[in-house]
Homo-oligomer: A and B are copies of this chain.
Amino acid sequence: MTLMSVSPRPARRFDRGPVVLGIDPGTASTGFGLVERRGSTLVSRGGGVISTRAEEPMERRLAAISSCLGELIAEHRPAALAVEDIFFGRNVRTAFAVGQARGAVLATAGAGGIPCFAYTPQAVKLAVCGSGRAGKDQVQRMVAALLGLGDPPASDHAADALALAICHANQMPLRAEASALGARIPNT
């Protein structure tokens, strides 16, 4: 199992804002991205990929993903975790595999008391690119631009995870306002 970090930035603990952890679950590669909200600005706290080897038994691969995620949660104490919503266009085999990885991720977040929020791919693209039909390249470029990264994330999975984190971080003020008014935006 490897944990590859891209463009992390040192945290300035004294003025730390809420952090969102975006996760793009997959058995072979689980992308992660940490985005901190400082007032109206979003700052990358790093991102990368948790990789597991196909030769390993499935239970060990999922335990490795859970363990790495547990470390990220312990270190960064995210206020929320954002994942992709269930995408029913995929075939049964893919749905099952993604479901397994997502189950390991959500169980770990739940054990750590981190609330989880799901967004459709269209909602994420709309939040990041201004269009629900944007391509992979455009998402990667916009993630870099919005977070002030020198280069787009090298990994698709990390870029998708950062985009998910941006999408939720953008909604935080709206959710806080709704909550103050006694309303609630559903998590999923």
User: Number of A residues whose C-beta is below 8 Å from B?
Assistant: 40
Residues of B within 8 A of A108 (CB): 63, 107
Residues A57 and B115 in contact, CB atoms below 8 Å apart: yes
Residues of B within 8 A of A65 (CB): 107
Residues of B within 8 A of A8 (CB): none
- Give the number of copies in the complex: 2
- Contact indicator per residue, chain A 91-129, by CB within 8 Å of chain B (1) or not (0): 111011111111111111111001110000000000000
Q: Which of A72-100 contact B (CB under 8 A)?
A: 81, 86, 88, 90-93, 95-100
Residues B111 and A63 in contact, CB atoms below 8 Å apart: yes
Residues of B within 8 A of A81 (CB): 59
User: Which 5 A-B residue pairings sit nearest by Cβ, starting from the closest?
Assistant: A99-B99, A103-B103, A63-B110, A59-B110, A100-B103
**Chain A interfacial positions (CB closer than 8 Å to B):** 57-67, 81, 86, 88, 90-93, 95-111, 114-116, 187-188
